[in-house]
């Protein structure tokens, strides 16, 4: 498919994992893509030799850095049609008890995961509005926004992102820009590299479709929402979770004895 022929996209946090998967999917469908990542070296290594990809160092926590990344997309490719807000603050180690959860972690999650998307959306909206009706923002959320899977600050930030998706959709619609969100379940990315046994157990006992997700699964959903195939969809959150939230396998096992 060439749904994005002639399109320009910008993906935040695109050096690895879901972000990298999204970049590759959009490029495969014809887009030219700017990868905005705080780890510029990793992003360049990930896409060395990939035609149509440009890399810019960007800290989504800094307004000037965000504005510079959007300007870069306009300078090198002439505009912007699609923004994918994928960058988030990663959590290290086990989640502490709520009363021991440091306030700094909450600030990091809100500043990067939520406000990073706010900053980029604000900076990009004029260009997206000038995209002739094909402007689109896709935010990467999480099933943590909808149910308790641990991580107070991360979950709260992702839930706030879903609310922001809805309110921005209403604001942007008159300007011809759609805003949607994808909520992934467990995705096999670098953060799970040392926990393969846990991934296998999740696939076997938790996920109705019998496996965890891949970056390509999420990228496919992002590409759909960003494309004109979703031209009458805005303000929605699409679960891409292998049935995790729809089916309670443990409940069924107990009831069935």
Structural domains in the chain (count): 1
- How confident is the model at residue 163, as a pLDDT? 98
Residue 202 pLDDT exceeds 60: yes
Say which residue the tokens 């308790």 belong to: 148
- How confident is the model at residue 253, as a pLDDT? 76
CATH of the domain at 177: 3.40.50.720
For residue 28, being part of any structural domain is answered with yes
Residue 124 pLDDT exceeds 70: yes
DSSP 110: I
For residue 206, being part of any structural domain is answered with no
For residue 200, being part of any structural domain is answered with no
- What is the domain range of residue 131? 8-194+214-246
**What is the pLDDT averaged over residues 80-89?**
97
Average pLDDT, the chain: 94
**pLDDT category of residue 257 using cuts at 50, 70 and 90:** low
For residue 253, being part of any structural domain is answered with no
- How confident is the model at residue 93, as a pLDDT? 56
State pLDDT tens for residues 99-117: 777 788 899 999 999 999 9
Nearest to 10 by CA among 47, 41, 56, 48: 56
**What is the pLDDT averaged over residues 12-31?**
98
For residue 31, being part of any structural domain is answered with yes
Return the sign of the alpha-carbon dihedral for residues 211, 212, 216, 219: positive
For residue 203, being part of any structural domain is answered with no
Q: How far is CA 180 from CA 71, 172, 221, 224, 257, in A?
A: 23, 11, 11, 11, 41
**What is the pLDDT averaged over residues 131-145?**
97
Instruction: Give catalytic residue positions.
Output: 154, 158
Whether the model clears a pTM of 0.85, i.e. scores above it, the answer is yes
Residue 92 pLDDT exceeds 80: no
Q: How far apart are CA 18 and CA 215, in angstroms?
A: 4
**pLDDT category of residue 255 using cuts at 50, 70 and 90:** confident
**What is the pLDDT averaged over residues 11-32?**
98
**How is the beta sheet containing 135-140 ordered, strand by strand?**
53-57, 32-37, 8-12, 82-85, 135-140, 177-184, 237-240
State pLDDT tens for residues 42-84: 999 999 999 999 999 999 999 999 999 999 999 999 999 999 9
State pLDDT tens for residues 234-246: 999 999 999 999 9
State pLDDT tens for residues 205-220: 999 999 999 999 999 9
For residue 52, being part of any structural domain is answered with yes
For residue 2, being part of any structural domain is answered with no
- How confident is the model at residue 98, as a pLDDT? 74
């Amino acid at each position: 498919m060439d749904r994005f022929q002639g399109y320009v996209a910008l993906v935040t946090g695109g050096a690895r994992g879901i972000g990298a998967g999204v970049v590759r999917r959009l490029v495969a469908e014809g887009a030219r893509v700017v990868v905005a990542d705080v780890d510029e070296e990793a992003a360049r290594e990930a896409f060395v030799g990939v035609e149509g990809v440009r890399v810019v160092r960007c800290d989504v926590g800094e307004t000037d850095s965000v504005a510079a990344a959007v300007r870069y997309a306009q300078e090198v490719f002439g505009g912007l049609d699609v923004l994918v807000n994928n960058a988030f603050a990663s959590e290290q180690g086990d989640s502490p008890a709520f009363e021991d959860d440091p306030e700094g972690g909450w600030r990091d999650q809100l500043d990067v995961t939520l406000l990073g998307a706010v900053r980029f959306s604000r900076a990009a909206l004029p260009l997206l509005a000038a995209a002739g009706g094909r402007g689109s923002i896709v935010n990467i959320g999480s099933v943590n926004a909808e149910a308790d899977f641990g991580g107070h600050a991360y979950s709260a930030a992702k839930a706030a992102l879903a609310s922001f998706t809805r309110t921005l959709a209403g604001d942007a619609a008159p300007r011809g820009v759609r805003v949607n969100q994808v909520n992934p379940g467990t995705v096999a990315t670098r953060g799970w590299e040392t926990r393969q046994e846990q991934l296998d157990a999740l696939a076997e006992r938790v996920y109705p479709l019998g496996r965890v997700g891949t970056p390509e699964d999420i990228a496919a959903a992002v590409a759909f929402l960003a494309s004109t195939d979703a031209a009458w969809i805005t303000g929605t959150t699409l679960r891409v979770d292998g049935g995790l939230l729809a089916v309670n396998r443990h409940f069924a096992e107990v009831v069935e004895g």
